[in-house]
Amino acid sequence: MLKKEMVFLKFENQYYIVFNDSIHHLGRIRFNITHEIGHILLGHVDAIPFYRKSEFDSETNEQETQANIFARDLLMPSAILTALEVHTPEKISTLCNISVQSAQIRAKRMEILYHNFQLHPLERTVTEQFLSILMKEICENKLPPEA
C-alpha cells in the first residue's frame, strides 16, 4: 500500500502520477496532481522521486516549494481571487475546489498581496480574460460574492 499521497515517475519516456487512492477529498487530489504536473513542467524529472506526504512539504526543499507555487498559482490565481474579493479560506476552498488546508495557506499569502496588490501585466491579462466569465457566473448565482 502506498503510504504517501502522490509521486510522479518517468518510465520509457512517459510520465505517470501515482497516488494513494485512500485519499478521497477531490480538492486535495486536484492540488496534489497539479503539484506533480508542476514537477514535470518545471524540469524536476531527473531528481530522485520525492514522495508527497502533505500540503506542507514545501518546507522540505526548493523543488517542492516550486511545485507548490505552481499548483497554488494555477488553481488559486491571485488576480481572480482579488477581482472576486475572495478572502477567507472557506470561500477560496469552495471557489477553487481545493482543500481547506491549501486554502488556508493561500489565504495567508493573499493577506499580504491584498495590502500591496499591484497587478502584474500577466495578472491583468488573466483578470481581463476571465472577468467576463466570472461575472456571468456571479450573475447566475453560481459564485456568490463574499459578503
Say if residue 70's pLDDT is above 80: yes
Do 70 and 81 share a structural domain?
Answer: no
Q: Which of 126, 136, 68 is nearest to 102 (CA)?
A: 68
Do 109 and 122 share a structural domain?
Answer: yes
Helix (H, G, I), strand (E, B) or coil at 66: helix
Range of the structural domain that residue 30 is part of: 6-74
Angle, CA of 66, 72 and 76, to the nearest 5°: 160
pLDDT, residue 2, reads 44
Over residues 20-45, the pLDDT tens digits come to 777 778 888 899 889 989 998 998 87
Helix (H, G, I), strand (E, B) or coil at 102: helix
pLDDT, residue 21, reads 75
Work out how many domains the chain is built from and give that number.
2
Do 50 and 15 share a structural domain?
Answer: yes
Give CA–CA dist 128/125, Å, rounded.
5
Do 86 and 56 share a structural domain?
Answer: no
Contacts of 66 (CB under 8 A, 6+ apart): 38, 42, 44
Say if residue 1's pLDDT is above 50: no
Do 99 and 129 share a structural domain?
Answer: yes
Q: Which of 55, 74, 93 is the last residue of a domain?
A: 74
The x, y and z cell numbers of residue 10, run together, are 518517468
Alpha-carbon distance values, 57 to 5, 54, 69, 114, 116 (Å):
11, 6, 12, 25, 27
Do 81 and 64 share a structural domain?
Answer: no
Over residues 77-114, the pLDDT tens digits come to 888 888 788 889 999 999 999 999 999 999 998 888 77
Do 90 and 119 share a structural domain?
Answer: yes
Asked if residue 1 is part of any domain, the answer here is no
Asked if residue 106 is part of any domain, the answer here is yes
Asked if residue 146 is part of any domain, the answer here is no
Asked if residue 68 is part of any domain, the answer here is yes
pLDDT band at 76 (very low <50, low <70, confident <90, very high): very high
Which stretches within the chain are classed as H helix?
26-41, 62-75, 78-83, 89-96, 100-115, 121-139
Give CA–CA dist 59/65, Å, rounded.
7
Q: Which of 74, 101, 131 is the last residue of a domain?
A: 74
Span of 8-17, 35-44, 126-135 with lowest mean pLDDT: 126-135
